[in-house]
Amino acid sequence: MTNDHLSEMEIQQYASNKPGADPEIVMHVQGCEACSARVAAYALLFSAIKDMPKQAFDFDLAGLVLSKIPRSAPSSSRAMPSAYLLAAVIIFALAVPVYLYWHHIANLFAGILPMVMYLIITTALTLLVFQGILLYKKYENKMNILNTV
């Protein structure tokens, strides 16, 4: 048994969870009248808190909050056709020069193995598509911020 009394935290932990308490704390509480009185006071307080009825509002809080939130129409449905149009224009703008100058482009990459060339082209196109999507999303966010002001 220790000569010092238990701290408030140790007493509260013992009062709230007696089976999981440290054996030294249990021995101290059993041998110390001051600490066992404090444990009894905390146990009474904890049981009174558990027995208290839960507070409830006498009005519909969710309904009041939901009525204050403004409703807006979804904007993504009207933006999709313009995104498809933009993608089609970009593909057309890239496809026409490639079709017209295919022989010159092929000579440019004649010394590279075909598999490496396809890998380079696929990587470049993938990066361009993702960069385009990110740029368009950034544009949409800026427009939504301007529309809400």
Q: In the structure, what pLDDT confidence band is assigned to residue 4 with cuts at 50, 70 and 90?
A: confident
**Domain, as residue range, for 12:** 8-51
Q: What is the DSSP string of 2-35?
A: -SSPPPHHHHHHHHH-STTS-HHHHHHHHH-HHH
Together in a domain, 100 and 144: yes
Same domain, 80 and 125: yes
Residues whose CB is less than 8 angstroms from the CB of residue 21 and which lie 6 or more positions away in sequence, other chains included:
13, 14
Which of the pair, 140 or 13, is modelled with greater confidence? Answer: 140
Same domain, 45 and 79: no
Residue 110 falls inside a structural domain: yes
Distant-in-sequence, close-in-space partners of 32: CB < 8 Å, separation ≥ 6? 1, 5, 6
Rounded distance between C-alpha atoms, residue 18 and residue 79, angstroms: 62
Residue pLDDT, tens place only, 8-45: 888 888 887 766 777 888 888 888 888 889 888 888 88
**Residue 136's pLDDT band (cuts 50, 70, 90):** very high
In a domain, 17, yes or no: yes
pLDDT tens for residues 102-123? 888 878 767 778 888 889 999 9
Instruction: Answer whether residue 56 is part of any domain.
Output: no
In-domain check, residue 135: yes
Between residues 84 and 130, the one the model is more confident about: 130
Integer Cα distance of 33 and 77 in angstroms: 73
pTM above 0.95, yes or no: no
Of the listed ranges 71-75, 76-80, 81-85, 107-111, the least confidently predicted one is: 76-80
Residue 94 lies in a domain: yes
In a domain, 141, yes or no: yes
Structural domain total, the chain? 2
pLDDT of 1 > 60? The answer is no
The answer to the question of residue 3 being in a domain is no
Q: Is the dihedral of CA 87, 90, 95, 98 positive or negative?
A: negative
- What is the Cα–Cα distance from 87 to 80, expressed in whole angstroms? 11
Closest CA to 13 of 35, 31, 107: 35
Crossing angle of helices 8-16 and 23-31, rounded to 10°: 100
Note whether 78 and 139 are same-domain residues.
yes
Whether residue 96 contacts residue 88, with contact meaning beta carbons closer than 8 Å, is answered with: no
